[in-house]
Amino acid sequence: MLDHLVLATPDVDDTAADLAGRHLHTLEGGPHVGVGTRNRLAGIGPGRYLEVVGPDPAQDEPDAPRPFRIDTLTAPALVTWAVRVDDLDAALDAARAAGHDPGPARDMSRRRPDGTLLAWRLAFPPDDAGGVLPFLIDWGATRHPSSDLPVPASLRTLRLAHPDPERVTALLDAVGAGGEAEVVAGESPSLQAVLDLPGGPLVL
């Protein structure tokens, strides 16, 4: 199932302020130590959230490029999305059996401002079709981040555009994400989400 959307940005606080001005308030998530990033989160429905992620000025420059093309961004962009699985290893095996390389499993963690440590495992596909193909995430025993978030918005639609929509649809099926998003033909890969807010829809 859809876990979260990733809104990458060159400046987390500026983007959070802009979203707040459009009635979508985010809460501090925490730093990804060693990766050079930090995030803020907003609930967008039961079991779902929006992650605003960008450089963490409190950290040293990381040894590797930051994820989600953050180092090259000049403006916020909806860059990819995550699908939640209960057993990452089984999901990876199933995806490979269906002809999709979901990437290797990686251990990740971050500490919330209240000191709570969140730990999870994920896998990024080496070919994410321009961000259209999701990465897989397994929260294990960690309480899901959305459980502690207010839900100021709900996700109305997630639209994925790609020059080969049939391939994208088949690969979404391979990771158990069929039906989670609308897949359409487009000249280049892109993602668009529409959130319903009390003040009206917000398009990302």
| pLDDT recorded at residue 25 | 93
Q: Where are the alpha helices (DSSP H) in 98-196?
A: 165-174
Inter-CA distances, 9 with 13, 18, 57, 165, 180, Å: 9, 12, 13, 27, 24
Query: Consecutive 10-residue runs of the chain (204 residues): their mean pLDDT?
Result: 97 97 93 94 95 96 94 97 96 92 93 91 93 96 92 93 95 91 96 94 96
Q: Which DSSP helix (H) or strand (E) runs through 159?
A: strand 154-162
Give the tens place of pLDDT for each residue, 61-93.
999 999 999 999 999 999 999 999 999 999 999
| pLDDT recorded at residue 202 | 96
Q: Which two tokens stand for residue 122?
A: 């994920």
49-55 vs 37-43, strand pairing mode: antiparallel
| pLDDT recorded at residue 31 | 94
| pLDDT recorded at residue 75 | 97
- Residue 13 CA to chain centroid, in angstroms? 18
